[in-house]
Amino acid sequence: MAATNKMRRANKREQDEEPISEFCRKIEVENRVITICMHKNKKNNNSKTRTTLDVLPSCLIYKILCYLPFKEATQMSILSKTWLQAWLTHPNLEFEFGVPYMKIVDAIMERYRDKKIPIEKFELSDSSSSSSRGFPLIDKWIDIALQNGVKDLVFKVADVSLPIFTILAAKCLRELVLEGCTLMPTGVVKCNSLRKLSLSYVGLDEDMLRTLLNSCPLIVSLVFEYCSGVGRIELLNLEKIKSVSISTQSNLLVKIRAPTLEHLSYSGYLSYGLDVDECQNLTSLDLSYMWTSGGSLEYLISRLQSLKVLKIQYFEGIAEINSPNLVSFEYIGDQIPGLKIARDSRKLKHSEIVLHCYDYLNIDAWFCKLRNFLSNSTSWSQVSLYFPKCNEINMKDLQLLHNRSIAAPQVDVLDVYIPCQNEEYCPTFVQALLWSCHPTRLNLHS
Amino acid sequence: MASTTETKQKKMLILKSADNDEFEIEESVGVQSETIKNLVEDGFTFVPLPNVYTKALIKIIDYLKKHANKTDSNDEEIKTFDKDFVNTTFDDLFELVSAANYLHISCLMNMLCQTIADRIKDKSPEAVRKIFHINCDYTPEEEAKIRKANAQAFEGQFDESLD
């Protein structure tokens, strides 16, 4: 086996030598053949103490380099000719788009095309937000990437029209992440290799989305963010889908029928409610920044029998959570929610609430409300409170406001974050914290 | 006592390091290495590893034992183990990565390469040369030309530390 490895390595070196000499010629660097020796091969085998390796073999340098982002890998090409050689065939090409670098990128892409160097990932992002409308080189680069077997394509370039169906016609594409571009509606294809599709701020309409989803029926993960041309999302025939994440700033109609779905996250307007059915494997639900009329989500949650993890952020519209198999619940927000967790949630192991308090005019009432809210549910594993400053609290007022018929809350850990200038806490403030939360343990962070 | 009888029934392998130390491990632990697996499939129970030194082999056997007992519940424990495992010097990491490569343990290779890459990511070329004991074989003119050819990548600040 060692012999085959050696042969493989020798072949690899022959393969690599051509591009390196070509590159060196282009930039007028003298190409010397480099030999790398493992220090230990030369050493006397009998000696037990050994100095460290001088160098790693070039195949290992190549492997390590593959784990560096392209920009950092490029920096390493300056180390020595071995590293330059490794960099010349780096499989992940990530470029920031900008006018001064187009020639460099084009030269690199042409080298990959001419030498048929495999490309795993091709990413183009536009940091300068310079308009790149109709830029012909992008099409050329996409063609090269597809020709060379690219698996992950990432485009974060505004104002570019992508030949989406040419891209999907590639047989080995695994991940497609698009941000800011528009899609050219031509042709229909099937891309059974695609596992992840992510669309953010992409210009497309409902027909286009439907065609697109039909084109890649085996996706596992779908991200759909702020694509304004779409008012309705229907996920009906995705056989392998496991994770769906939707964010929107306009009203969306969402219909999901997916027995394989495990994770759903939704952020934004939702006046029609989420039409989620036949999702018997949905274990994790993440709802944030929602505007919706009450009722429908409670119904949805109560029907998701498999739900184990529920996370709610900045959304107060839920009144009661009744989910018998819930294991973990997390709430993050700046308002004390009106919600209550049904008392028979016996499997609940982790319940956490994170609150940012800005209500300083009525801080007494705020503490009262917090206490009432916390005692509404059996117990909380963790409560984290963020305050902008530390105030004196009138404990007498607090006691007066308090409804004595409500039981004391149970909190395991209370974390309090206050920016404290002189490291001193007002004693009544700490007293109010203890009174409203009844924590087993209190951590003060400043 | 029950555990002793159990061990006796299990198939065992002997690994011999480059410094001639021998280690007995369970076959099920060893076959996570493709190299060992191939030898076991050919009927070997004694595996000489002329490219792996004792120091690295002890750590790698630890790793294989830990990962052979992977279940749903000890996920966190293994994460902590892995974190400690790679928290070592660059020279140790290089020894380990050579050994893992020779033994063909792909999950360990991923972890080690990722760790080394993360740790050199923001370092200056001079610092990385020292870490990898690289003798630069460029002339100053050649180096300047390569810098110029990829000017974009050499903008910004570098970290000069060697740890």
Residues 26-65 of A with CB under 8 A from B: 27-30, 32, 34, 38, 40, 45, 48, 50, 52-57, 59-60, 63-65
pLDDT value at position A27? 53
pLDDT value at position A53? 42
**Lookup: tokens for A372:** 């009432």
Nearest to B153 among A53, A74, A82 (CB): A74
How many CA atoms, within 13 angstroms, populate the side-chain half-sphere of residue A35? 2
Question: pLDDT of A338-348, one tens digit each?
Answer: 777 776 667 88
CA distance A204 to A200: 11
Does A7 score more than 60 pLDDT?
A: no
Using a CB–CB cutoff of 8 Å, tell me whether B91 touches chain A: yes
pLDDT value at position A161? 84
In B, which residues are within 8 Å of A29 by CB distance? 138, 142, 145-146
Nearest to A56 among B51, B98, B137 (CB): B98
pLDDT value at position A289? 84
Using a CB–CB cutoff of 8 Å, tell me whether B139 touches chain A: yes
Q: What is the mean pLDDT of residues A94-99?
A: 78
Nearest to B125 among A56, A57, A75 (CB): A75
**Lookup: tokens for A406:** 């409500």
pLDDT value at position A346? 72
CB contact under 8 A, B120 and A68: yes
Judged by DSSP in three states, A254 sits in strand
φ, ψ dihedrals at A150, nearest 5°: -60, 140
SS (H, E, C) A363-404: HHHHHHHHHHHHHHCCCEEEEEEECCCCCCCCHHHHHHHCCC
Does A364 score more than 80 pLDDT?
A: yes
A225 alpha carbon, distance to own chain's centre: 12
Q: In terms of pLDDT, which residue wins out, A445 or A90?
A: A90
pLDDT value at position B61? 96
ipTM over 0.95: no
Nearest to A74 among B97, B114, B150 (CB): B150
Question: Cβ distance A87 to A76 under 8 Å?
Answer: yes
Alpha helices in A238-386 (DSSP H): 296-303, 363-376
pLDDT value at position A42? 38
Question: pLDDT of A321-336, one tens digit each?
Answer: 888 888 999 999 888 8
pLDDT value at position A32? 38
Question: What does the mean pLDDT of chain A come to?
Answer: 81
φ, ψ dihedrals at A197, nearest 5°: -125, 125
Using a CB–CB cutoff of 8 Å, tell me whether B137 touches chain A: yes
Question: Cβ distance A306 to A287 under 8 Å?
Answer: no
Q: What is the mean pLDDT of residues B92-121?
A: 96
How near does any CA of chain A get to the CA of B141, in Å?
8
Min mean pLDDT across A7-11, A109-113, A323-327 is at: A7-11
Q: What does the CA dihedral A244, A248, A252, A255 come to, rounded to 10 degrees?
A: 0
CB contact under 8 A, B113 and A66: yes
Using a CB–CB cutoff of 8 Å, tell me whether A127 touches chain B: no
How near does any CA of chain B get to the CA of A32, in Å?
9
Using a CB–CB cutoff of 8 Å, tell me whether B86 touches chain A: no
Question: pLDDT of B35-70, one tens digit each?
Answer: 999 999 999 999 999 999 999 999 999 999 999 988
pLDDT value at position A51? 40
CB contact under 8 A, B145 and A66: no
Question: pLDDT of A276-293, one tens digit each?
Answer: 888 889 999 999 887 766
In B, which residues are within 8 Å of A50 by CB distance? 53
Q: What is the mean pLDDT of residues B118-130?
A: 92
CA distance A67 to B121: 10
pLDDT value at position A37? 35
pLDDT value at position A378? 75
In B, which residues are within 8 Å of A27 by CB distance? 145-146, 149
The DSSP code sequence of B2-57 is HHHHHHHHS-EEEEE-TTS-EEEEEHHHHTTSHHHHHHHHTT-SEEE-TT--HHHH
CB contact under 8 A, B133 and A72: no
Alpha helices in B23-152 (DSSP H): 27-30, 34-41, 54-68, 75-86, 90-103, 106-120, 125-131, 140-149
Question: pLDDT of A33-84, one tens digit each?
Answer: 333 333 433 334 433 333 444 568 889 999 999 999 999 999 999 999 999 9
Using a CB–CB cutoff of 8 Å, tell me whether A68 touches chain B: yes
pLDDT value at position A69? 94
Question: pLDDT of A187-208, one tens digit each?
Answer: 778 899 999 999 999 988 888 9
pLDDT value at position A39? 40
pLDDT value at position A48? 38
Q: In terms of pLDDT, which residue wins out, B29 or A390?
A: B29
Min mean pLDDT across A92-101, A107-116, A340-349 is at: A340-349
DSSP structure class, residue A225: E
pLDDT value at position A1? 45
CB contact under 8 A, B98 and A78: no
In A, which residues are within 8 Å of B154 by CB distance? 75, 78
CA distance B106 to B32: 9
* Ramachandran region, residue A64 (left: φ > 0; alpha: ψ -120 to 50; beta: rest): alpha
pLDDT value at position A384? 94
pLDDT value at position A44? 40
CB contact under 8 A, A77 and B146: yes
Question: Cβ distance A271 to A292 under 8 Å?
Answer: yes
Question: pLDDT of B59-99, one tens digit each?
Answer: 999 999 999 988 878 888 999 999 999 999 999 999 999 99
